[in-house]
Amino acid sequence: MTRYRHRDGELLVHADDCDSIRAELAGFGYHQDGAAGPVRRFTGTRPVPEVLAGLREPRLVAPNHVFGADRIIWNQLRPMPTTDELTPVPAGAIRRYVGVIDTGIVLHDGRPHPFLGDRVRYEPEDTARVVRDDHGDPVGTAGHGTFVAGVVLKYLPADVGVRMKGVIDEQSGLTEDLAVANAIDDLGAEGVTLINMSFSGETFEDEPPKAIEDALRRLPAETVVVASAGNRGLRQRVYPAGIRFGRTFDGDPDDGRHARVLSIGSTDRTRKVADFSNYGPWIAAYADGVEVLGPYFHPGYPSPPPEAPPFNGYAVWSGTSFSAAIVTGRIAAVMATGKSARDAATEVLKAEDPITVYDVNGSLDVPYVRG
């Protein structure tokens, strides 16, 4: 039993390493599937952990890791009805987009949630179908992308929008390394310099996911990527939030030559680390993450929990996914004043007094971002 999740029968190899490893992989029955690109997919039938254990150079290959929005549906972190609502801001002439890689946007009668309106840009493949149970209620994470996009938009002026890339499966809540990397490449090609990724997962030997890390290296150095730290209440580093370029976690922010990745944990209403939030010296900042308000499906849907009022088109939801979205929204708001993503991120992380986080090695003062 492996502790990381991955696609069965799939291994990833950098294009530059293919000639060095191709013959050995063929000996295990793995062959390139024909797709070109900076990272190539090899497929076979033998179990991935077995192949990795038998390779002479296992670091040249990696599983096609699977990531997800973990522990957010139908438990203590479930979305709950609220009487609060958000006032939609009519879209102006959108001059800048913030990238959100998540589940797709849920459409109702062919339109996004009214709070998102025309401020979210998406292609047909970036929408989420709603899979329903026997009672007609949603199964999976279909509302997650809409909620995250809405939290980001809460902080933005009318001329800034969200560019949605829907790569997380709305039923399983999972996505893969290669799909995320392709979405990053697409956003980079569109000139997006601020990206939100509200999902996480563990990796083989705690190594960064090969395709995602490679895609981040291709982004301009001015880019900032905000990623959720995970909802398992553990000190263990997860990815993609744990990716860093040229730094130790207690050293300088990064090497300045690649995109800056910010790992975001959650605080409760008392500015203490939330019980569900992952933590540790690898966390770049914490933000409010308990009962965050955002858009969720449409009025009257889904069925509320017992003894709860009906959903009014909005919900309160808890998790590091939404802490990351708050930080992304705050950075984008500062960018709207003319600052780069890097400069805006630095300003946002210094705007509030830090919180003190206690760890096995003592205490750390860590930036805090208010929701």
Residue 292 shares a structural domain with residue 309: yes
pLDDT of residue 35: 76
What CATH number did the domain enclosing 88 receive?
3.40.50.200
One of 70, 102, 254, 288 is an active-site residue; which one? 102
R_g of the chain computed on alpha carbons: 20
- The predicted pLDDT at position 142 comes to 87
Residues 159 and 100 in one domain: yes
102 catalytic, yes or no? yes
Residue 144 is predicted with a pLDDT of: 94
Is there a single domain that holds both residue 311 and residue 359? Answer: yes
What parts of the chain have a pLDDT lower than 50?
A: 1, 73-74, 248-252
312 shares a domain with 178:
yes
Question: Domain containing 98: what range?
Answer: 69-369
Is 1 part of any domain?
no
* Burial label, 292 (beta-carbon count in 10 A; 0-12, 13-18, 19+): buried
Please indicate, yes or no, whether residues 175 and 59 belong to a single structural domain of this protein: no
pLDDT tens digits along 341-353:
999 999 999 999 9
120 and 224 in a single domain? The answer is yes
- Give the model's pLDDT for residue 303: 87
Tell me whether residue 266 is in a domain: yes
Told to judge if 228 belongs to the known catalytic residues of this protein, a careful annotator would answer: no
258 is catalytic: no
Residue 12 sits in the same domain as residue 155: no
pLDDT at 140: 81
Last residue of a domain, one of 16, 37, 64: 64
161/212 same-domain check: yes
Q: State residue 20's pLDDT score.
A: 96
Q: Which of 6, 65, 113, 144 is catalytic?
A: 144
Residue 221 sits in the same domain as residue 253:
yes
* Other beta carbons within 10 Å of 83: 7
Domain assignment of residue 223, yes or no: yes
pLDDT of residue 205: 92
* Secondary structure of residue 260 in the 3-state scheme: strand
- 234-253 tens-digit pLDDT: 999 999 999 998 754 444 45
| pLDDT number for residue 4 | 92
Residues 57, 138, single domain; the answer is no
How many structural domains does the chain have? 2
pLDDT reported for residue 73: 45
